[in-house]
Amino acid sequence: MGQVKLLLVEDDKAIADSLVEGLTAAGHTVVHVTTGAGALAERGQELVLLDLGLPDMDGRDVCRELRQRSTTPIIMLTARSEEFDRVLGLELGADDYVTKPFSLRELVARIRAVGRRTLDGPLTGDDTDPAAAQLIGSMELDRRTRRVRVDNEEIILTAKEFDLLAFLANDVGAVLTRTEILENVWDAHWYGPTKTVDAHVASLRKKLGDHGWIEAVRGVGFRLEAPK
């Protein structure tokens, strides 16, 4: 992944200045805003770096609003004391987070990782290759282009929702435990609250339009199957 158009939402001037400088030096284009309203007014960014503590809005509300209108990846910048927010952040659709203080190197690595999962595929045109797509009942899952269709309708998923679906689809019909899902779909640093998985399953089911796609196996985990 090369240059990324980043939107940095951060009200702390010292942090923002050094990030703009460092990220620009790393080859990215950075638009910097200091408020939630400013963030929501921006368009065209490929990835958002979002501080949680903003002067005008709760960063979680900004995240929710951004997520409602696009699948642009969001990395949250959180303070150490905001443990709870990290969980909630995922539930709101953030793709990753870094905890302050973090190094520029760490952030650049996260941008690269999130970007690899979400930005590298061909983004324009209808280039779905039927041969490359996995068929599960009426679902077409294309890992190369990261596209999903159900009954020929494209389903717009967040990066994490796609990763979750693709992981479940690796073994259609098999029950995968929450721990297995967390280990494979989330990075090791997301360990802990398994309700994160449940929240993503819930949003995925809603988008797929039929709860029958993902069956919850009580006390064990989840399985993907074409609805009967």
CA-to-CA separations, 132 to 124, 127, 142, in angstroms, rounded: 17, 11, 6
Q: Residue 222 class from Cβ within 10 Å (0-12 exposed, 13-18 middle, 19+ buried)?
A: buried
Q: Cβ 12 to Ca ion, closest distance in Å?
A: 5
Taking the complex as a whole, the smallest distance from the CB of residue 11 to Ca ion amounts, in Å, to 5
Using CB positions, name the residue nearest to Ca ion.
53
Looking at the Cβ atoms of 65 and 180, the one nearer to Ca ion is: 65
For residue 51, is it left (φ>0), alpha (ψ between -120 and 50) or beta? beta
One-letter amino acid at 20 equals: V
Nearer to Ca ion, 3 or 18 (CB): 18
Task: Kindly tell me the sign of the dihedral angle through the C-alpha atoms of 29, 67, 107, 167.
Answer: negative
Q: Shortest gap between Cβ of 84 and Ca ion (angstroms)?
A: 17
Backbone angles phi, psi at 219, to 5 degrees: 75, -5
Q: Please state the closest distance from residue 36 (CB atom) to Ca ion, in A.
A: 11
Closer CB to Ca ion, 11 or 65, in the complex:
11
Q: What is the DSSP letter of 108?
A: H
Work out how close the CB of 196 gets to Ca ion at its nearest, in angstroms, rounded to a whole number.
24
User: Which residues of the shown chain bind Ca ion in the complex (CB under 5 A)?
Assistant: 11, 51, 53
Nearer to Ca ion, 11 or 180 (CB): 11
Q: Please tell me the distance from the alpha carbon of residue 153 to that of residue 222, in angstroms, as a whole number.
A: 24
Residue 94 or residue 148: which is nearer to Ca ion going by CB? 94
Q: Which of 200, 128, 105, 97 is nearest to 157 (CA)?
A: 200
Which candidate, 159, 173, 179, 146, places its Cα nearest to that of 228?
173
Nearer CB in complex with Ca ion: 58/187: 58
35 versus 145: smaller Cβ distance to Ca ion: 35
Closest CA to 206 of 218, 198, 217: 198
Give the nearest distance from C-beta 161 to Ca ion in angstroms: 28
- Minimum distance between the CB of residue 108 and Ca ion, rounded to whole angstroms? 20
